Amino acid sequence: MKYEEVDAHLIGVFSDFAMDEIDEGLPFCVAGSFARYLLDKHKSGSIDTLVLAGKFIEELYAYEDERMHNLATIGYLEAIQTVWSSNSVDPEEMVKYLGDESRKQWIELNILWRNQQ
């Protein structure tokens, strides 16, 4: 998969995810919309979707493409942390669904945020 194909792949995997039209062509904005989608799935107890999301994010790290890694970390993971916490939901609830590299990057984001406070 190429960086430019991530959004299409996301929609292919999560058929009920409706990307905002304004986000089209802006992968980091799509990641924010996806974080809100995952928050709704978490609230409704849709564990299968969260598991699939963890696998999807982890898959982005499998590519030797720095843009994909940045999208996974700064796009998807950071969006989940921000969106969930802004809606009074502990984003750490998502960690159990992440793969090894995603968890590592999640921890790095937490360290970064702590150091900026």
What's this model's pTM, rounded to 2 decimal places?
0.93
Contact between residue 53 and residue 13 where contact means Cβ atoms under 8 Å apart:
no
DSSP state of 88: T
Which tokens sit at 75?
């796009």
pLDDT in tens, 5-24: 999 999 999 999 988 777 77
For 21-64, what is each residue's pLDDT tens digit?
A: 777 789 999 999 999 999 999 999 999 999 999 999 999 999 99
What is the model's pLDDT at position 117? 62
- DSSP secondary structure letter of residue 63: S
The closest alpha carbon to 95, from 35, 41, 43, 50, belongs to 50
